[in-house]
Copies of this chain bind each other. A is one copy, B any other.
């Protein structure tokens, strides 16, 4: 197997598509958002990307094995621009792999004529969120203006630690290769899988890209998570030993 191996599953024509990336990360915000898009809108699997930098692992679904991969889906909604949605269960296992996979993802974006890149993710605040702001970072001033108009906040030196992994490199390598790219980061506690943060990110994306999706299933999932939080808070009030931050991380 090659270090980076792109399998062509289908080859539809897309018109001036945007790339929407949602791989696993803080609060699983990006992944939840990308998966919600794929559930709510008609989509077609077009590429699978295998790599020796992914975990040496197969996932099992009803007894059938699937090699670790990232997947590209073509989404052509009635309203709004065509989308190439990048989703999956894995990040690269090492530094070199992050760079090489992101370059491979941008090669696929090139093939489909992608004009703008949106990396979706979460930004951890360390506390439970009341109002879900979406923080932005871009490679161009123009892109920043469009996003500001859509309600995205840009703050000096935030996130303080920069953006790590594929989302960050889609901006860093994207800029060097001439893709206007933006990262949309939903605020999230960082302790829980956060469907509300994913919804906040998707609402921005809707405005900017022009599609419309129903949020009912995401809201249901959010209600379930709130139930979890409520129970934890009750336990705390009863002076029962509370689960540690570590235990809370990514309950869902």
User: Which A residues form the contact surface with B (CB < 8 A)?
Assistant: 1, 50, 52-68, 92-96, 98-100, 102-103, 136-139, 141, 144, 154-159, 162-166, 168-169, 171-173, 175-176, 181, 183
Contacts and interface: CB of A to CB of B under 8 A. Distances in A.
Contact of A93 (B62, B95, B144): B95
A169 B58 contact: yes
B168 A58 contact: yes
Interface SS majority for chain A: mixed
A103 B1 contact: yes
Contact of A68 (B58, B92, B172): B172
Copies of this protein, total: 4
Contacts of A61: 156-157
A163 B57 contact: yes
A100 B138 contact: no
A11 to B, nearest CB: 19
Contact of A55 (B95, B166, B171, B181): B95
Nearest to A141: B64
B98 A168 contact: no
A63 B144 CA distance: 8
Contacts of A65: 137-139, 163, 168, 171-172, 175, 181, 183
B63 A155 contact: yes
A94 B94 CA distance: 10
Contacts of A172: 57-58, 65-68
A67 B175 contact: yes
A218 B138 CA distance: 33
Given A144-B63, A172-B68, A183-B65, A162 B58 contact: yes
Most B CB atoms within 10 A — which of A92, A137, A166?
Answer: A137
A53 B94 CA distance: 10
B98 A56 contact: yes
A248 to B, nearest CB: 20
Given A62-B154, A67-B172, A171-B65, A164 B95 contact: no
